[in-house]
Amino acid sequence: MSEFDKSRLDKYIRLMYGKHIPQSVIEKAIRNKDILVNDRKPNASDKVSEEDEIFVHPAICKVFANICAVQEKEAHAKRDYSCYVEQFKSMIIYEDNDLIIINKPSGLAVQLGSKTKLAVDVMAKAYNPEARLVHRIDKETSGITVLAKNIETSRYMLHLFLNKQIRKKYLAIVSGKLGMLEGKINKPLTKNKETVCVDFEHGKNAITEFRVIKNLNKNRTLIEARPLTGRTHQIRVHFSSIGYPIVGDRKYGGQRALRLYLHSSEISFQTRTGKTLSKKAPLPEYFK
């Protein structure tokens, strides 16, 4: 704590937990004895040093974190993303009066958060203020991402996803040589904080069909996967659970690589106007 040595307590709190935490919040926490210095109730103006033992109640830590998250969201809302319009336009593979379909690169989040400075949703709104995400893929996953240009289409697409009326295909490179040319993985999944695991007792139904496209060098296999359900991390967890994790998937035991080798390659559905729409997203160069 030497860089904060002999600073005011309220300044120390802001340096440690967020520079925009209101003075009133800090002083209320002190009054409630949720902040103590050397087991005693301090004043906000007290000087603290590296010898002092400063206690901040875990509940107050969460309050500070929530305040910072709101401030971060407001800061993002004020940020000008117009400089990313051309980059967003370069990702578009289909657009009509209702929909935008893009080929998202790996490493770009679809939704802005406290840990992301750029995402598809804000880039899309800079391109078209009415654009809104209708489904999500992982930040590390590349490929097809769909946005609606009006609320009617957004509701319609949500209905299709909920009723499993959208067909999606993924391409992935997995570690190992599969002993079958095609198959089905039927294992229920449960979300546990930031990861997902197979849970036959409490998990939600999750089914992935797959077929082998070809064997590759380095004991790897290119496969096509078709999720019949839409659980978080479904394809990643399913292939890890049968001993063939996706290359680059550090969260679920995949071989180390610069990127996750999972690509949302194709989507098919009936549009609001009754047209059957099927679109493919070209593979990234690192797959080839």
Q: Which residues contact 282 (CB under 8 A, 6 or more apart)?
A: 103
**Which amino acid type is present at position 70?**
V
CA 129, CA 127: separation in Å to the nearest integer? 7
User: 166, 144 in Cβ contact below 8 A?
Assistant: no
**Helix/strand/coil for 146:** strand
Q: Which of 266, 200, 186 is nearest to 234 (CA)?
A: 186
Q: How far is CA 76 from CA 14, 15, 105, in A?
A: 20, 21, 21
Helical residues (DSSP H) of the chain, grouped into ranges: 9-17, 23-31, 58-78, 85-91, 120-127, 151-162, 234-241
Q: Which of 46, 96, 98, 138 is catalytic?
A: 138
User: 85, 91 in Cβ contact below 8 A?
Assistant: no
User: 119, 110 in Cβ contact below 8 A?
Assistant: yes
Phi-psi region of 143 (alpha: psi -120 to 50; beta: other; left: phi over 0): left
CA 212, CA 215: separation in Å to the nearest integer? 8
Q: Is 121 a catalytic residue?
A: no
**Which amino acid type is present at position 36?**
L
> Active-site positions?
138
